[in-house]
Amino acid sequence: MQKKTVCILGGSGFVGRHICSQLVSAGYRVRVLSRRKSACNELSVLPDLNILETDVYDQHKLNHAIEGAHIVINLIGILNEKQHNGDGFRRAHVELSRKVLNACHHNNVNRLLHMSALNADATKGRSQYLRTKGEAENNMHAFAGSIQVTSFRPSIIFGDGDSFFNRFARILRLTPWLFPLACGKARFAPVYAGEVAQLFVESINNRQTFNKRIELCGPEIYTLKELVAFTSQQIGKHHIIINLPDTLAQLQAVLLEYFPGKPFSIDNYDSLQVDSICQGGDVFTGKHSIKSIVPAYLGHHNRFSEYDSYRQHARR
C-alpha cells in the first residue's frame, strides 16, 4: 500500500516535533513546511521526512507546497505579537487559516487537522489571542466544505523542550528568592505533548473525530502559582511566590509588554482571566501528570537541561 503524505505547517515547533516523530513511526511520509530549513535540523534525521523551505503566507507558494499531500496539519500559532493592535494575531491565525483552506481545496486534500486553544471564541474571547484563535477555528469548520476537519483545543502542553516549564525555569534561575506573579489563581490542566501527538495521528483515520472540536486536558488541575512553585522546586530553588493584586498584575503586563521578547503582555493578562480547563463536550483527558514527566527534563539534577533549553531557544 502506498504511504500517505502528511504536510505540516509548524512542524519544527515543540508539538510539531512530537507529531512528526509519531507520524513517521505510524508509516506516513511527512513534509514539513518551514521558513528556514536550519530550524528543522532535529527533524532531518527522521526517515520519510522532507523539509520544504517556503513562505506559507504566500498563497501561490502554499498551494505548491501542499501539492500531492493527503492530509494537512496546521500547528501555527503565536502567544504574542510584535505589534500591539492585534494585526499579528490576525495574520498568524485568521488569515493563514483561510490560506490553508484555499490550498487544501486547490489540491483536493480532504483531511485537515488544526491546532486551536481552549477558550478560543471569535466573539466572547477575552483576548486578541483567543478571539483570533476562535475565528480561525470557525473558518476551518464553516468553510471547509468537502474537507473533514478536526480542531484540537489544548490547555498548556508540556514535555521535553516545552515553552512553559522551561521558560519559567529560565526566569526563576535568574530571580532572587521573591517572585511576584500576575494571575496566580488562573487554573490549567497541563497535557503531555506525547499524548497530544498520539491523538493527532490516531485522529487522521478516526471518523468519530471528523468535524469535531476536541478539548485536550491532563489528569490534574493546577493554579499558575502552583505550577510556578513546582518549577522552582524542580530546579532546586525555593522561591516565595506572591500573587500580585489585580492592579499590580495589570501594571506588570503594561510594563513587560514593551520588554525585549515581550515576556508578558496585556493580551496574556486578558487570556489568563479565564481558566484553561476542559468544560465538557468532546474532551480528551491525558493520563500523564506533570509529576511523572517534568522532573526528568527540568530537574536540577540534569546538568544539561539548561544548556539544551538555551540551544533550542537559539534554534541551534
The DSSP annotation for 84-117 comes to SSSHHHIIIIIIHHHHHHHHHHHTT--EEEEE--
| Residue of 225 and 40 predicted with greater confidence | 225
Distance, in Å, from the CA atom of 217 to the CA atom of 282, rounded to the nearest integer, reads 11
pLDDT, position 260: 87
3-state secondary structure of 8: strand
32 pLDDT band (50/70/90 cuts)? Answer: very high
Give the CA dihedral 21, 25, 27, 32, nearest 10 degrees: 10
pTM summary value: 0.92
Give the CA dihedral 278, 132, 227, 12, nearest 10 degrees: 110
Residue 316: alpha-carbon gap to chain centroid: 20
pLDDT, position 300: 53
The neighbouring-strand residues paired with 212 are 150
Task: Kindly report, residue by residue over 54-96, the tens digit of the pLDDT.
Answer: 999 999 999 999 999 999 999 999 999 998 899 999 999 999 9
Q: In CATH, what number does 5-159+190-217 get? A: 3.40.50.720
Where along the chain do its domains lie? 5-159+190-217, 165-187+220-278+289-313
Task: Kindly report, residue by residue over 265-281, the tens digit of the pLDDT.
Answer: 999 999 999 999 998 88
